[in-house]
Chains A and B, each alone.
Chain A
Amino acid sequence: MPTLIKARAATEERIGLSTWQKVKKYRAFYVMFLPLLICLVVFSYLPMVGVLYAFTDYTPFKDPSFVGLANFKKLFSQAGFWQAFFNTLQISTLKLIFSMACSILLALMLDEIRCKWFKKLSQTILYIPHFMSWVVVASIFTMFLSPKNGLINGVIELFGGTPIYFLADENWWRPVFYVISCWKEIGWGTIIYMAALSTVDMEQHEAAIIDGATRLQRVIHLTLPSISGTIVTVFILNLAKVLNLFDPVWVLQNAMVINVSDVLETYVYRMGISGSQYGLSTAAGLFKSVISVVLVTVANKLSKKITGEEVL
C-alpha cells in the first residue's frame, strides 16, 4: 500500500493541483470546520468588534452614539476604578507568585518521596480541590471561617481568643484570599513540574555526587535549571489568565471588604450588568484586556530572549 500512496503523491505533485482544485478536494473538511468557526465567530470574534462600544454612550435606553474618549476620561476620574485597578495588580501579582512558588516547592518535595503508595495518595488528595468550583470553595470556607460556628473560630475561642470574621475584615481578606487560592490550586500546579522532574538527567546527578555535591546543591544547580523551561512556560500561560479574577473574587467578596477586594472584573460586572452602563464598563474592560495582552507579549519576548523559545 505505501508504494501506491507514494506513487499517487508523486503523480499529484507532477500534475500539480491548483489551489482551487485543492479546495475542491478538501471541501468536506471546510464543512467540518464550520461548527467550530461559527462558535468562535459568535462567542469570540463578534465580541471583539463589540469593543468599539467603549467609544460610545450606550445604555439599555439609548442606542450607542459615538463619544470618542469621553468614557475613558470619565473612568479615570473615578476613584473606584483606580482602586479596582491597583487591587487587580496587587492581587493578581501576589496570587501568581505565591501559588507558583508553592507549587514548585511542593513538586520538589513530592519528588523526593520514594515511597510509591504515599506519593500516589498525596497526589490524589492534593489534586481534589482543583476540581471544585469557586462557588463550592467559597461556600466551604465561608462556613469553615464563620465567626458563628466555623471550625477555625471554634479553635480560637477554645484558646480564649475572640472570634475573627475573616472574610469581612479588611486586614484579613487578602491573606485569606491568597491562602484559599493556594489551597485550591497548589496540588494541581505540581503536575506539570512533576512531569518535567521525571525527565531530569540522572547521569548529571551521578557525576555531581562523585564530585561531592550535596543534595541541596544538586537541587539548586541541576534540578531547578533543568525545569526552568517549564517554569517559564507555565509562568507565561498563567500570565495570560492572571487578570481573570472574576469567579474567585466575586464569590468571596462582600460589601464590608469592597475596598480591598474589588478588582477590574468585578468592577466591570457591577457597572455593566448591574448598573447597565454598557459604554463605560466596556471601556474599563478594554483597559483590562490591553494590560493582559501587553503582559503576555512582553513575557513571550522575554522568554525568547532567555530560553531562546517563544511559548506562544
Chain B
Amino acid sequence: MGLNSKERFSFAKGYRGRTLFLMFDFALLGALMCMMVLPLIKVLVDSVDPTSYGVRLIPRVVDFSAYEMIVRNSTLYQPFLVSIYTTVVGTIFGLLVTTMGAYVLIQKDMPGHRLMGKLVLATMLFNGGLIPTYLTIKNLGLMNNMLAVIVPCSVGAYNTILMKSFFASIPGELFDSAAIDGCSPFGAFWRIMLPLSKPALASVGLFIAVGLWNEYMHFILYITDPEWQSFQVKVRSLILEDGLSGTSITLSQEMLKSATVVVVVVPFLLIYPFVQKYFTKGVTLGAVKG
C-alpha cells in the first residue's frame, strides 16, 4: 500500500508531525491499558496481602488465607457452585432453544415463518417492564425456580436473530438433498446445520455463558432461597456488609472481599485469550442486518 510510504520513525521534515502523532497514539493506548488493568492488579494484590492498603501495587507478603476461607466456608463456595450450575445448564438450554428457533425461521417456504420472525423481533423492541414480568413469574409459581433465571438470561431475540443470519448463509440445497435422502428435519438440523455452524455456536454460546455467569438482577428478583444464590449476589452482599455472618474470622475483611472478586473474574480470564476471536466475530456478525 502506498499509504504507508510516510511511515518512518524520524524527526526529519515531512515525517515530524506523523512521528509525534504516533508517539502520542502509543502513549495514549499504553496509558489506557494501564487504566484497564490497574484496578484489577490492585484487587489481586489486596487479596493476598493483608497490609497492602493505599498506594502499593506489589505485595509485601503473600498470604492465601482468604482463598482458603472461600474453599472451606460453605456459605462462600455454595454460591460458586450455583453460578457454575446456572452457567452450564443455561448455556446448553439457551443454545438448543435458540438454534432450533433460528433454524425454523430460515424456512422460507413454511407458512407463517414471517409472522414467527416478527414475534421474535418484537420482543427486542417491546417488553412488559420489571414489575409486570416479576408478577407474571410470581403468579406462574416460578419464584425460587431456577428456570426464572435461566430462561430469560439464555433465550433472547437478539441471539436468535444472530443465529438466523448465520444459518441463512449456509446453502439451502444441502437440506433439500438431505430431505430427499430421507433425513428428518430435526436430523438435518442436528447432523448438518449444527456441525456447519460451530463458529457461530461458539460465539453465541460464549455470550450466553458470560451473561449467565454475570447475572445479578434476575437472582435478586426471583431467588429468595439463600441456598440458590449466585456468586455475584454473594460478592455484592460481602461488599455491602462488613463482617461475614455466622463465621468468626480473624482475617481482614478487605482481603476476603478482594479474594471473592478475584475468584469471580479468574475463570473468565483463563479462557478469554483462547476465545477472544469468537466474541469479536459475534459482534460483527450481529451488525449484519438479520
Given A36-B101, A195-B284, A293–B132 Cβ distance below 8 Å?
Answer: no
Report whether A53 and B135 are in contact in the complex, using a CB–CB cutoff of 8 Å.
yes
Q: Which of B26, B40, B215 contacts A118 (CB 8 A)?
A: B26
A29-B185, A112-B21, A132-B265 known; A5+B180 contact, CB < 8 A: yes
Whole-angstrom distance between the alpha carbons of A311 and B121 in the complex? 12
Residues of A within 8 A of B100 (CB): 32-33, 35-36
Within 8 A of A (CB), among B65-105: 96-98, 100-101, 103-105
Set B1, B116, B215, B232: member contacting A33, Cβ < 8 A: B116
Residue of B18, B105, B214 touching A215 (CB-CB under 8 A): B18
Query: Taking A124-B273, A141-B39, A143-B258 as contacts, is the C-beta distance between A28 and B185 under 8 angstroms?
Result: yes
Instruction: Give the distance to chain A from B47, nearest Cβ to Cβ, in Å.
Output: 10
Contacts of B257 in A (CB 8 A): 139, 143
- Contact status of A140 and B216, CB under 8 A, knowing A50-B133, A125-B37, A191-B280: no
Q: Does B43 contact A (CB under 8 A)?
A: yes
Contact with B along A127-138 (1 / 0, CB 8 A): 111011111101
Residue pair A132, B3 in contact (C-beta under 8 Å): no
A36-B236 CB under 8 A given contacts A109-B25, A126-B36, A127-B279: no
By CB atoms of chain B within 10 A, which of A140, A153, A186, A209 has the most? A140
Q: Do the beta carbons of A48 and B279 come within 8 Å of each other?
A: no
Return the contact of A154 from the options B53, B180, B217 (Cβ within 8 A). B53
Partner of A187, one of B1, B36, B98, B130: B36
A28 to B103 alpha-carbon distance, docked (Å): 12
Which residues in chain B, 1-51, are within 8 Å of chain A measured between CB atoms?
Answer: 1-4, 7, 18, 21-22, 25-26, 28-29, 32-33, 35-40, 42-43, 46
* Contact of A32 with B185 at beta-carbon distance under 8 Å, contacts A48-B128, A127-B279, A247-B217 already known: yes
- Say if the beta carbon of B261 comes within 8 Å of chain A: yes
Q: Is the CB of B29 within 8 A of A139?
A: no
Query: Are A246 and B29 in touch, CB under 8 angstroms?
Result: no
| CB atoms of B232 and A44 under 8 A apart | no
Interface centre among A5, A23, A121, A296 (most CB of B within 10 A): A5
Cβ of A278 < 8 Å from any Cβ of B? yes
CA distance A134 to B283 in the complex (A): 20
- Given that A2-B173, A50-B133, A133-B214 are contacting pairs, would A112 and B46 also be in contact in the complex, using a CB cutoff of 8 Å? no
Q: Are A46 and B239 in contact (CB under 8 A)?
A: no
Closest to A32 in B: B100
Stretch at the interface among A74-82, A86-94, A279-287: A279-287
Which range holds the interface residue count of chain A? Answer: 35 or more
Contact A22 B39 (CB under 8 A): no
Instruction: Indicate which residue in A37, A47, A138 contacts B119 across the interface (CB closer than 8 Å).
Output: A37
Are B136 and A46 in contact, CB atoms less than 8 angstroms apart?
yes
Q: Does chain A have a CB within 8 A of B155?
A: yes
Q: Are A23 and B3 in contact (CB under 8 A)?
A: no
A110 to B265, CA, bound (A): 26
State the interface size on chain B (CB cutoff 8 A).
Answer: 102
Q: Which residue of B lies closest to A269 (CB)?
A: B130
Q: How far is the CB of A5 from chain B (nearest CB, A)?
A: 5
B197 within 8 A of A: no
**Does B176 count as interface, using CB distance less than 8 angstroms?**
yes
- With A32-B104, A109-B28, A296-B125 as contacts: A5 and B33 at CB distance below 8 Å: no
Contacts of B215 in A (CB 8 A): 133
A17 to B, closest residue via Cβ: B109
Answer yes or no: A162 CB below 8 A from chain B CBs: no
Instruction: List B contacts of A281 (CB < 8 A).
Output: 130-131
Interface 0/1 of B101-132, CB less than 8 Å to A: 10111010111100010011101111111111
Q: Is the CB of A43 within 8 A of B214?
A: no
What distance in Å separates the Cβ of B90 from its nearest Cβ neighbour in chain A?
Answer: 12
Which one of B4, B131, B265, B272 contacts A114 once the chains associate, using CB atoms below 8 Å? B4
| Bound form: Cα–Cα A39–B227 in Å | 25
The docked-state distance in angstroms from the alpha carbon of A125 to that of B41 is 13
- Residue A43 contacts which of B22, B25, B133 (CB distance < 8 angstroms)? B133
Whether A26 contacts B111 by the Cβ 8 Å rule is yes
Give chain A residues whose Cβ lies under 8 Å from the Cβ of B96.
35
Q: In the complex, what's the smallest C-beta–C-beta distance from A254 to chain B, in angstroms?
A: 9
Residue ID in chain B nearest A179 by CB atoms: B35
- Interface membership of A192, Cβ < 8 A: yes
In the complex, whether B189 has a CB less than 8 A from a CB of chain A is yes
> Is residue B287 contacting chain A, with contact meaning CB distance below 8 A?
yes
Q: Can you list 30 A-B contacts with CB-CB less than 8 angstroms, sorted by A residue number? A: A19-B111, A22-B111, A29-B110, A32-B100, A32-B101, A32-B189, A33-B100, A44-B127, A49-B128, A50-B128, A50-B136, A51-B128, A109-B25, A127-B280, A128-B272, A131-B268, A133-B232, A135-B232, A140-B39, A143-B258, A151-B38, A151-B42, A183-B36, A187-B32, A205-B3, A246-B217, A268-B129, A272-B130, A282-B131, A289-B126
Q: Given A110-B29, A135-B214, 15 more contacts at CB 8 Å?
A: A1-B180, A30-B104, A44-B126, A45-B123, A49-B128, A122-B32, A126-B33, A148-B53, A183-B35, A251-B216, A265-B130, A268-B129, A269-B130, A282-B135, A289-B126
Of all A-B residue pairs in the complex, the 3 with the closest CB atoms, nearest first, are A47-B128, A50-B132, A36-B101
